[in-house]
Amino acid sequence: MQKKGQLVYKALVVAVAIGLIVVSFLQAGRSYASKDFYYKIAVAKDIALIIDGLYAVPGDARIEYKQDLSSHTVSVSGNTVKVYRSILGQYDITSAEYNFIGQPVPEKIVENSETLLIEKISGKIWIFGALEGGGGRPGGAGSSLRDNQKW
């Protein structure tokens, strides 16, 4: 036999679980309706195919991917590109993932960047978020932002 207090906690847990399920369905429906889900898939495929293409190019190369990703995060880990909404983070249930065939790329997360720089230097692929600006600011005056990575 359960006490009255235990029944209240059980009802509270069930109510919270149902609330989370409803919120996730609403978020997924909003993402599908706004076509954001399809945009994330297209961006993930584009970046993965660019990385594959850079591995096929002899020598060094640099590509500026000029899609507006100011409300999205691009995560590259191993051989997978993942794109999700920055507000929702890793918990975005409509995030998009796409794999590429080349060698694994160093893990990188680029948040809210309007331009993505993808470079092949000495056979390695590097991904950076570009900053607007000029002069002494990183990313300005024709330079690329390397996020203090050691070469």
pLDDT in tens, 43-70: 999 999 999 999 999 999 999 999 888 8
| CB contact set of 133 (below 8 Å; sequence gap of 6+) | 139, 140
What is the pLDDT, as a whole number, of residue 131?
Answer: 63
Tell me the C-alpha distance between 121 and 149, whole Å.
13
In the chain, where the domains are located: 1-34, 37-129
Tell me the C-alpha distance between 41 and 21, whole Å.
24
Question: Would you place residue 25 in the very low, low, confident or very high pLDDT band (cuts 50, 70, 90)?
Answer: confident
Torsional sign, CA 142, 128, 85, 54 = positive
Q: With a threshold of 0.85, does the pTM exceed it?
A: no
Question: Would you place residue 139 in the very low, low, confident or very high pLDDT band (cuts 50, 70, 90)?
Answer: very low
Q: Which residues pair with 77 in a beta bridge?
A: 80
Closest to 50 (Cα-Cα) out of 41, 63, 37: 63
% the chain with pLDDT above 90: 40
Residue pair 111/145 in contact (Cβ under 8 Å)? The answer is no
Choose between 149 and 131: higher pLDDT: 131
